[in-house]
Amino acid sequence: MWRTAKVVSLRNETTTARTITFEVPDWPGHLAGQHVDVRLTAADGYTAVRSYSIASAPSSDAHIEITVERLPNGEVSPYLTEELVVDDRVELRGPIGGWFVWRTQQAEPVQLIAGGSGIVPLMAMIRSRASAGSNAPFRLLYSVSEPAAVFYRDELRAVSDHDHSVGLTYTYTRVAPEDWPRVPGRIDPTLIASATWPSQHSATCYVCGPTSFVETAARLLTGSGYSPDKIRTERFGPTGDRQ
Amino acid sequence: MSIISRGFSGRRSGADVKLPPGQYLTTDFPVLSAGPTPHVSLDRWELTIDDGTKVLRRWDWKSFRDLPVETFTVDLHCVTRWSKLGTRWEGVSLDTILADVESDASYALAHSYGDYTTNLPLKDLMNRKAWIAFRFNGEDLAPEHGGPARLLVPHLYLWKSAKWVRGITLIHEDQPGFWEQLGYHNYGDPWREQRHWGD
Amino acid sequence: MSSHPFDYLDGNAAGGELSNIFALDVTAAEGQCAHCGATKPFAEARVYVRGPGLVARCAVCEHVLLRLVNVRQRLLLDVRGMTYLSLNASQSQESA
């Protein structure tokens, strides 16, 4: 069923991505990792539907956030990132998904691996952990093309600085900051070995990003000793778009 | 009743050209699929015509490429509403493929590498209406668009133009293919907007 | 004969469309492939959405598990590709 959601605030995350906060009457609540489908309708009745991960932690109010990246040839993302203004309305369906979720009762170590905009549902997990006061040990490996592409940088720094049970590793595929110890490139076994929980910790892994990234990361995890049933995956399209 | 999203119009463009009802013009060539792109090596590629029991004709890539080739320009209409006009192809006419094939079958079921199938009346493959196409826009047909060779039946919606075609079965009783089994029109004439069952 | 140019999504992407039909969450449901017998969460199915309909395929053998087509106001569902789908009845789509 579709609910009408109203835009209550907008925040730029990067030059091409922004976070949209919606007020959703009768929002039933959600779990970190779930997504919503967003439906836009043109005046002539033409509709387009796209899926976006919920970025905000579960809460008791009727607001949720999504972070949308503008895709160069997108049909919906340019509208959401450039045209949409406060008080506009869209339709939402959800929350959707019961597999790629982190529940606050989970106490075991968690390994998060994000490729590009795959950070969004994992950020919801980090936020959910914080708002629930959980001490579950978390590690995040966040792969982006370049520093300017990072979402939530300040918040991630604050979390990892203040909470030593949240480890944060960035890795860059195209352009790295000056003096970065690692040459820009895709994730590889060495990085997995140094930045993720050793497999003996039996961490639950959540991997999200473009399909090719997810396949690579999952393969590297199983190659380093993780059992496949400890790895949960969510694939975005080849360009990061879930449509 | 959906709410209207202020300022949203989608990707469609109006145009002065005449399109089948409900279509919009695109200059892209969207890739739509129901499964993974098969990668068929030319030394294993085959095209067969069979009657459900025995093979009537078979070509490997070499013998297929010895057949007379036509160059033709046609418009494509996809049931997902995009139309691409004036596309240039090279291929072998089904009139050539089916010449000397003796059959009193009225229907055909095209099979692709992978598991895709689509059905159509045999007469819609004849009389300069269909080709096995292997070059698009002056280049070898790319795998994501159906290469090495695809069926091309431009007077019907593009789902009838089976990508990665491997054979055509001639049948007496019509047999719905992959999409025709699940809501898509058995014939699929874009000009009569035959997208779905009951259209 | 097929390769993997990563043109698929996964069962999570089918969750919204399937929520029109299933009251229970499908992404965490366990399904058995009718062709090869592989048993996995539906979230791990390979889902193709760019086409006339949605097609979910077994991640192991690539055979079709499920197809869904939206035709005007009708939804057509073909689940012959699964021997079974096992869903958790204690959690609906929207509960924590």
Return d(Cα A36, Cα A97) in angstroms, integer.
Answer: 9
Q: Does position C4 have pLDDT exceeding 80, yes or no?
A: no
What is the tens place of the pLDDT at every residue in A35-55? 999 999 999 888 999 999 999
Same-domain pairing of A82 and A177: no
Confidence band, pLDDT 50/70/90 cuts, at residue C17: very high
**CB-based contact, C6 to chain B, within 8 Å:** no
Nearest-CB residue to B4 (from A43, A79, A83): A43
* Residues A30 and A119 occupy one common structural domain: no
Helix (H, G, I), strand (E, B) or coil at B96: helix
Q: Are residues A119 and A200 in the same domain?
A: yes
Is 60 exceeded by the pLDDT of residue C47?
yes
- A116 and A91 in one domain? no
Paired strand residues for A139: A111, A167
| Res. A73 pLDDT band, cuts 50 70 90 | confident
Question: Residue C94 pLDDT more than 50?
Answer: no
Are A65 and A140 found together in one domain? no
Measured between beta carbons, the chain B residues lying within 8 angstroms of C52 are 32, 34, 79-80, 159, 179, 184
What is the domain count for chain A?
2
The answer to whether position A127 is within a domain reads yes
Mean per-residue pLDDT, A154-171: 93
Does C3 sit within 8 Å of B34, measured CB to CB? Answer: no
Grade residue C3 by pLDDT with cuts at 50, 70 and 90: very low
Q: Residue A135 belongs to a domain with what CATH number?
A: 3.40.50.80
Which of B2, B7, B11 comes nearest A83 by C-beta? B7
Span B139-185, pLDDT tens digits: 999 999 999 999 999 999 999 999 999 999 999 999 999 999 999 99
Percent of chain A with pLDDT over 90: 90
- Residues of C within an 8 Å Cβ radius of A: 4, 6-13, 15-16, 19, 25, 27-28, 41-44, 49-50, 88, 91, 93-96
Verify that A125 and A178 share a domain, yes or no.
yes
Distance from CA of C48 to the nearest CA of A (A): 9
Residue C83 has pLDDT above 90, yes or no: yes
For residue B2, the chain A residues in CB contact (below 8 A) are 2, 39, 41, 45, 47, 91
pLDDT of residue B9: 81
Average pLDDT over residues A8-15: 97
- Chain A residues near residue B3 by CB distance under 8 angstroms: 4, 41, 89-91
pLDDT exceeds 50 at position C63: yes
Q: Do C62 and B182 touch (CB under 8 A)?
A: no
Contacts of B125 (CB under 8 A, 6+ apart): B94, B98, B108, B153, B168
Residue A151 lies in a domain: yes
Q: Is residue A103 part of a domain?
A: no
Do A231 and A115 reside in the same domain of the chain?
A: yes
Among A213, A18, C28, A91, CA closest to B1: A91
User: Residues A96-126: pLDDT tens digits?
Assistant: 999 999 999 999 999 999 999 999 999 999 9
Looking at the predicted structure, is the pLDDT value of residue A2 above 50? yes
Burial class (CB in 10 A: 0-12, 13-18, 19+), A89: middle
Contact indicator for C76, C63 with CB cutoff of 8 Å: no
Q: What is the pLDDT of residue A205?
A: 98
CATH code of the domain occupying B24-28+42-192: 3.90.420.10
Distance of CA A85 to the CA centre of its chain: 23
Q: In percent, how much of chain C has pLDDT > 70? A: 90
pLDDT of residue C50: 82
Q: According to the model, what pLDDT value does residue A237 have?
A: 77
Residue A32, pLDDT above cutoff 50: yes
pTM beyond 0.90, yes or no: yes
Strands (E), C17-95: 30-33, 39-41, 46-48, 54-57, 64-71, 74-78, 82-86
Are A134 and A211 part of one and the same domain? yes
Q: Does A211 touch chain C (CB under 8 A)?
A: yes
Other beta carbons within 10 Å of B107: 18
Based on the fold, state whether residues A70 and A167 are members of the same structural domain: no
Of B40, B80, B115, the CB nearest to C52: B80
A65 and A135 inside one domain: no
Q: Which pLDDT tens digits describe chain B residue by residue (199 residues)? A: 678 888 888 766 555 678 999 999 998 899 998 999 999 999 999 999 999 999 999 999 999 999 999 999 999 999 999 999 999 999 999 999 999 899 999 999 999 999 999 999 999 999 999 999 999 999 999 999 999 999 999 999 999 999 999 999 999 999 999 999 999 999 999 999 999 999 9
Q: Which residues of A touch B6 (CB under 8 A)?
A: 88
CATH number at residue A83: 2.40.30.10
Q: What is the pLDDT of residue A132?
A: 96
Q: What residues make up the domain containing A159?
A: 110-236
Q: Chain C closest CA to B67's CA: distance in Å?
A: 26
Tell me whether residues A39 and B2 touch, CB distance under 8 A: yes
For residue B181, give how far its alpha carbon lies from the nearest alpha carbon of chain C (Å). Answer: 9
Give how far B30 is from chain A: nearest CA, Å: 12
Q: Is the pLDDT of residue C93 over 80?
A: no
A210 shares a domain with A139: yes
